[in-house]
Amino acid sequence: MVRMLQAYGVRHIFGLCGDTSLPFYDALHGLDHGMQHILTRDERSAGYMADAYARVTGKVGVCEGPSGGGATHILPGLVEASESSIPVLGITTDISTAGRGHYALTELDQQELFRPLTKWNSVIDRAAHLPSQVRAAFRAMTTGRPGAAHLGLPFDVQKEAVPESDLWTQPDFGSYPALSTAPDPVGVDALLAALLSARNPVIVCGGGVVIAGGESTLTEFAATLNLPVATTISGQGSLPETHPHCVGVVGSNGGIAATREVIDGADLVFFLGCRAGSVTTERWRSPKTGTRILHMDSDPMVIAANYPTEVGLVCDARLGLDALNAALRKRGAIDTDFQGKQRAQAAQRAKAEFFAELSGSTETPIRPERLIAELQLVLPEDAVIIADPGTPCPYLSAYYQLPKSGRHFISNRAHGALGYSLSATVGAAFGRPNAKVVGVMGDGSFGFTAGELETIVRYNVPVTLIVCSNSTYGWIKAGQKAGFGERYFSVDFSETRHAAVAEAFGVQGFRVENPDELQVTLAKAVAVDGPTLVDVVCQPLNEARAPVSEWVA
């Protein structure tokens, strides 16, 4: 197993030890393989680290854990990665095959546990099958729509011999997307003809463009036809958000009235590398019924799943855009009046004015808008920002202007579990060591994975963590306010001095209650060559003007 991972170009493994993993750990200890094992404090954290690592590197992320509770704890990371089209390999060890059915400690059916929640899944019951199963896992993770895989290794199988001649790999499958599919030329012409027949078309980009590395091809396509480009949260980075054609995030989380108007005013929406799910479409209310739909995605199952679709193309986003650009060049001069730049810039101006109403606020607790504004002034252009759900995600998605294309913003949008960003900053920092990595979380999220502060200190990971501290599960409390008559139940908890907690682990901590001290404190924390945490006493979501459509309504 160690040699197979090495051959696929794996450089980092995130995981946690257990009894059933002893042979695997002994191999990692004894062989000269060039990989670094990052010992975590929780298997779920290992999965989130591998997820973020894969997102910033374009390589398969690898996490591992032991049997029983280890297998159940690692599962959330694999589910999030798979649903987000990110290739993460989860390796779990298991009891010996001979112990099955005898009530062995930590016994559970790993094959059935992981089957519905990963793209590829196998418990390897014979060592002779290991090389082919590893190859199948990497092939599955990186081709088509990328996703997560699980491999189970029983204790006794780990000790069996494997013929050295079987230890071959296809290194291309260590990165993604692999074996990318180009579109049908007939479909390309049909999609382009439909698009050119519209009056006010708009592109909505999901994560597929960044995953495929199609940012430059999208820029060319949008500029050639003067099209406005909106994104989902996962699609941020498809264009720089300062680009004149970029509308910004749309949908119920991070969209505002000005960006929604671009979608509702369109007579045709082109979903590009986007599933058109509930958040992007505000529960399928935007675009409105009757809007013409075009759809391009690497997964055929998402096309026409939610909207009648005029033309669908199954292909890699970059190759699809390449084909569309080639078809446009072949056509020559095209007379269109889509006014994409004008529509996008009007939305940008309206959003900037809306943001400015609160971004300079001197109120306490500190307005989230003020935090975003100060963060924008402090962080370098190539920073990687990782946001937990809750307070950070809608504000950062709506208002933080990413100045560069590519993967610079990450949020776990598939399942939205709390506790993601603190762990994910570790994976992102190992994957992109020359960039400043910042994790933003609510205090509810902090409580899920605070133990990983020890991991951060042990490896001296130079991340900056920002906690929006308001002593409540704010998203739920805001929902109780908007939809349940302010009948608040079981959503508040006591205040934690997060900076003091961080310092107890060895992280340099800061606390900010006065908004006028925010920029200076953030700048100090970001400049430290080591781990830092800034505890920001922040307005709770139920009292805020968050860019979440159901609360605004």
Residue 354 — pLDDT band, cuts 50, 70, 90?
A: very high
Beta bridge partners of 538: 366
Residue 185 — pLDDT band, cuts 50, 70, 90?
A: very high
**What distance in Å separates the CA atoms of residue 134 and residue 136, rounded to the nearest whole number?**
5
Structural domains of the chain ordered from first start:
2-174 (3.40.50.970), 185-344 (3.40.50.1220), 360-552 (3.40.50.970)
Q: For residue range 433-470, what is the model confidence (pLDDT) as tens digits? A: 999 999 999 999 999 999 999 999 999 999 999 999 99
**What distance in Å separates the CA atoms of residue 352 and residue 343, rounded to the nearest whole number?**
14
Residue 496, pLDDT score: 97
Residue 550, pLDDT score: 83
% of the chain at pLDDT higher than 90: 97
**What distance in Å separates the CA atoms of residue 410 and residue 390, rounded to the nearest whole number?**
14
Q: What is the mean pLDDT of residues 148-166?
A: 97
Count Cβ atoms below 10 Å from residue 22 Cβ, excluding itself.
15
CA distance readout (Å), 250 to 203, 344, 549: 11, 12, 10
Q: Are 117 and 89 spatial neighbours (Cβ–Cβ below 8 Å)?
A: no
Residue 552 — pLDDT band, cuts 50, 70, 90?
A: confident
Residue 428, pLDDT score: 98
Check residue 367 and report its DSSP letter.
P
What spatial distance separates the first Cα and last Cα of the chain, rounded to whole Å?
54
The pair of three-digit structure tokens given for residue 15, joined into one six-digit string: 């995981």
Q: For residue range 33-79, what is the model confidence (pLDDT) as tens digits? A: 999 999 999 999 999 999 999 999 999 999 999 999 999 999 999 99
Residue 553, pLDDT score: 60
Residue 335, pLDDT score: 81
Check residue 58 and report its DSSP letter.
S
How does DSSP assign 136-202, residue by residue? HHHHHHHBSS---EEEEEEHHHHTS---GGG----GGGGBSSBSPPPPPHHHHHHHHHHHHT-SSEE
- What residues contact residue 368 under an 8 Å CB cut-off, 6+ apart? 391, 395, 468, 538, 539, 544, 546
Q: Are 251 and 232 spatial neighbours (Cβ–Cβ below 8 Å)?
A: yes
Residue 92, pLDDT score: 98
Beta bridge partners of 508: 532
Q: Are 58 and 432 spatial neighbours (Cβ–Cβ below 8 Å)?
A: no
Q: What is the largest CA-CA distance in the chain?
A: 74
Q: What is the mean pLDDT of residues 15-24?
A: 98
Q: For residue range 372-384, what is the model confidence (pLDDT) as tens digits? A: 999 999 999 999 9
Tell me how long the chain is.
553
DSSP, collapsed to helix, strand or coil, labels residue 307 as coil
Indicate yes or no: pTM above 0.85.
Answer: yes
Alpha helices in 274-391 (DSSP H): 317-331, 340-359, 368-378
**What distance in Å separates the CA atoms of residue 533 and residue 313, rounded to the nearest whole number?**
45
DSSP, collapsed to helix, strand or coil, labels residue 21 as helix
The mean of the pLDDT values for the chain is: 97
